[in-house]
Amino acid sequence: MPKIAIISDIHGNAEAFQVVLDKCAELGIEYFASLGDVVGYNADPQPCLQAMQQLPLVGRVRGNHDVYAANVDKEVVGFNANAKKAIEWTSAQLTEEERKWLIEAPARLNLTKYGMTLVHATLDSPDNWGYIFDEHHARDNFNYQYTQVCFCGHSHFPVAFEKKQVVFSGNAIEELHEWRSISIPEVNDFTVENSVTIKLKVDCKYLFNVGSIGQPRNGDPRASFVIYDSDMLSLTRYVIPYDIASAQEKILNAGLPERLALRLAKGN
């Protein structure tokens, strides 16, 4: 089976997306899976969408920003003022065909060939756009997970959980803290690339939030994505620096809210 790059929450950030694609080329990655929210927040929705369309995708799912940007006549609800303005602006940048491409992706997708499931938010109610932050939320998700591995996004916060199939005492679900241990280096040096690898156990199920490429919110402004090796039963999460200043300048030049530019440098 091929190694697959799992990418999520690009949010129209072409600078961040490009460094991820460059890293995948360096690693010899030939296949990709998208967890949604290709657009929204940042100023390059069309270039990011078109770049995604050119990738050899084994599967993709839709995100909430994809849905609202695609439905030009649908009232934008459940978003703060900045996000709402970005969605409305984003929708106007896309063609009818591009909006159709965004909306036709499923809400969740089982890829049994690769032993994985894709969802933007949660498996139990994928179109309600709930978040997975802790073991309680993870438990609800595991109840609907029929493959060994599930990948999600949406929160822009990388987190991972392992569920033991047989437990004689204690909690069957635990967080894999090492998954996010690279998020904030001790020296706060966000100009370097870092990675962490998790080895999967054959008798466990896993839930991984891969973090965000285009707008991280975990205090680490670098682009986050994952390489899944189903043969070796391993996943590696990479965080890569990119030209944040250029992405910020585009946001401001587009007339989008300043807050959307400022938060990129802080990763919040």
| Mean pLDDT taken over the chain | 93
- Predicted TM-score (pTM) of the model is 0.94
- CB contact at 8 A, 54 and 26: no
Q: Cα dist. 201→50, 90, 94, 104 in Å?
A: 37, 42, 43, 34
pLDDT tens, 193-242?
Answer: 999 999 999 999 999 999 999 999 999 999 999 999 988 899 999 999 99
Q: pLDDT > 70: what percent of the chain?
A: 94
Kindly provide the b/e burial profile for residues 57-91, where b requires at least 16 CB atoms within 10 angstroms of the residue's own CB.
ebbbbbbbbbbbbbeeeeebeebeeebbbbbebbb
Q: Which CATH architecture has domain 3-266?
A: 4-Layer Sandwich (3.60)
CA distance 68 to 39: 10
